[in-house]
């Protein structure tokens, strides 16, 4: 092995956050974000009570089993900067791990666009501006610049702000459940998709980014005091709390709001809640905090990729005593701005769904292979229920296979339009790093 040049160092002195602040808080605030406020009523309006709950349960089957896989791998070894990418690359090799790491970077960077566009929509509606493409682009760009400046000032400051956001979200949910009109007769409740509803796949694709928020917490692995403890606890608690909230909301909305209003009015929560101002505050806080979580996580994936030589090493350069990935933040800003210029929240949500679904399939594959192979080095403290990785992969691949039948331009984007990205990334990494499949010789941070 060539040892003439030392690899870039890990972030120094960055391991300072515990479970609640470093994993649970960014995870739950990203889970209870823009999709919950601006699109979940739309999901219930199209899918009905049973359809919406089925979408929620299927999405959480994938996120929960993936969370178990992440937690299992995290308790088996020391997890350094890079979160999911670090774990996959040390399990399946650098080419596959690098390809998925790049996918996770773009997914989180575009998630920043998703959340900021959600903020722009709610801001324009709340203050009675025209919700035009140009206005969304201007509002989104100004907001993106502002949160980028906050992350440049201090990661700790960005995370401290999220405590206030958590309070705002809780108050908005209380206001929602205390509002509403009289409960409908059960016979009048829409239970399933109608002839005029969007398809199940489209509804699922729009909703799924809501459950991917735990990735924002896992991405902070390099900044945690004890990743082996914090990642499992923070990840699984975040997913569980999110599941409970997403099961309660469709029951309330289906029994109190007309289906047509849910489909057509994206700000229906303001009309239902006891105190509409709390909903506005919750939307603003949740979308901004989710954007902060994503713009904190994406550069750290890029920094980890740079440490392994997958991308140019200057992208992993850190600044200050905490080795903040400011170059990575600038790259994230550029990708997020491209999404904001596109200006279509639903389209970005579908693209993000394909990135995350494919990534989650490989995460579960990595955990399953190590479990079934019985290798002596895989002895995690947290034992997954046998077969959980299998069902996660089956759910992911079934959805991908169904979408592959669609033309490349049709919503939601099929997996066939995403697979060339993974294939090209794997081949490129193999060419750049000979012997990357062979194990420890490439693993300079193992």
Give me the helix-helix angle, 40-74 and 345-373, nearest 10°.
Answer: 30
Structural domain range at position 133: 19-375+383-433
Q: 14 in a domain, yes or no? A: no
**Tell me, what DSSP letter sits at residue 5?**
S
Q: Does residue 229 contact residue 78 with C-beta atoms inside 8 Å? A: no
| 196 has a pLDDT exceeding 90 | no
Work out the average pLDDT over 364-388: 61
Q: 47 in a domain, yes or no? A: yes
Q: With 0.85 as the threshold, say if the pTM is over it.
A: no
Q: 210 in a domain, yes or no? A: yes
Highest-pLDDT range among 24-33, 160-169, 244-253, 368-377 = 244-253
Task: Tell me the two tokens of residue 412.
Answer: 């939601």
pLDDT at 247: 95
Q: Does residue 281 contact residue 171 with C-beta atoms inside 8 Å? A: yes
Q: 107 in a domain, yes or no? A: yes
Give me the helix-helix angle, 94-126 and 83-92, nearest 10°.
Answer: 160
pLDDT at 239: 92
Residues 6+ apart with CB under 8 A from 119: 34, 139, 140, 143, 283, 284, 287, 288, 291
| 39 has a pLDDT exceeding 80 | yes
pLDDT tens profile 176-185: 998 866 777 7
pLDDT at 24: 87
pLDDT at 9: 42
Task: Tell me the two tokens of residue 187.
Answer: 């016979």
Q: 443 in a domain, yes or no? A: no
Binning pLDDT at 50, 70 and 90, where does residue 206 land? confident
Nearest CA-CA partner of 84 in 397, 328, 427, 362:
362
Across the chain, what does the average pLDDT equal? 77
Q: Does residue 192 contact residue 48 with C-beta atoms inside 8 Å? A: yes
pLDDT at 1: 37
pLDDT at 408: 37
Half-sphere exposure in the Cβ direction for 130 (13 Å, CA): 4
Considering its fold, how many domains does the chain have in total? 1
Quote the Cα angle for 214-49-24, to 5°: 15
pLDDT tens profile 56-106: 998 898 888 888 877 777 776 666 666 778 777 776 677 777 888 888 888
pLDDT tens profile 319-332: 776 677 889 899 99
Q: 206 in a domain, yes or no? A: yes
Q: 3 in a domain, yes or no? A: no
CATH number of the CATH domain containing 78: 1.20.1740.10
């Amino acid at each position: 092995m060539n040892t003439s040049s030392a690899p870039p160092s890990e972030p120094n002195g960055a391991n300072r956050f515990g479970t609640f602040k470093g994993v649970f808080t960014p995870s739950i605030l990203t889970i209870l974000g823009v999709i919950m406020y601006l699109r979940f009523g739309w999901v219930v309006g199209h899918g009905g009570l049973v359809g919406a709950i089925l979408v929620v349960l299927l999405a959480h089957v994938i996120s929960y089993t993936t969370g178990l896989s992440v937690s299992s791998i995290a308790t088996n070894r020391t997890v350094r900067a890079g979160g999911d990418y670090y774990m996959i690359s040390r399990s399946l090799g650098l080419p596959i791990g690098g390809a998925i790491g790049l996918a996770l970077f773009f997914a989180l960077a575009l998630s920043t666009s998703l959340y900021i566009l959600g903020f722009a929509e709610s801001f324009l509606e709340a203050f009675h501006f025209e919700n035009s493409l140009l206005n969304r682009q201007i509002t989104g760009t100004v907001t993106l610049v502002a949160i980028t400046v906050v992350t440049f000032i201090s990661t700790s400051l960005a995370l401290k702000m999220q405590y206030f956001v958590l309070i705002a979200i809780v108050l908005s949910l209380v206001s929602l459940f205390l509002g509403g009109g009289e409960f409908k007769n059960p016979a009048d409740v829409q239970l399933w998709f109608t002839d005029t509803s969007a398809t199940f796949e489209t509804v699922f694709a729009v909703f799924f980014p809501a459950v991917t928020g735990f990735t924002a917490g896992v991405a902070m692995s390099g900044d945690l005091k004890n990743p082996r403890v914090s990642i499992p606890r923070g990840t699984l608690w975040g997913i569980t709390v999110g599941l409970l909230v997403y099961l309660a909301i469709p029951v309330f909305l289906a029994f109190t709001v007309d289906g047509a209003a849910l489909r057509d009015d994206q700000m229906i929560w303001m009309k239902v809640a006891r105190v509409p101002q709390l909903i506005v505050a919750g939307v603003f806080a949740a979308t901004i905090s989710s954007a902060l979580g994503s713009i904190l996580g994406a550069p750290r994936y890029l920094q980890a990729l740079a440490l392994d030589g997958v991308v140019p090493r200057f992208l992993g350069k850190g600044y200050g005593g905490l080795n903040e990935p400011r170059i990575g933040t600038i790259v994230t800003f550029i990708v997020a701005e491209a999404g904001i210029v596109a200006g279509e929240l639903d389209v970005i949500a579908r693209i993000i769904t394909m990135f995350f679904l494919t990534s989650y399939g490989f995460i579960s594959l990595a955990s399953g292979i190590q479990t079934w192979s019985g290798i002596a080095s895989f002895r995690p403290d947290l034992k997954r229920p046998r077969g959980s990785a299998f069902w996660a992969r089956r759910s992911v691949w079934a959805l991908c296979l169904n979408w592959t039948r669609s033309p490349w331009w049709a919503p939601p984007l099929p997996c066939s339009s995403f697979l060339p990205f993974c294939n090209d990334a794997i081949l490129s990494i193999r060419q750049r790093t000979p012997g990357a499949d062979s194990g420890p010789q490439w693993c300079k941070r193992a």
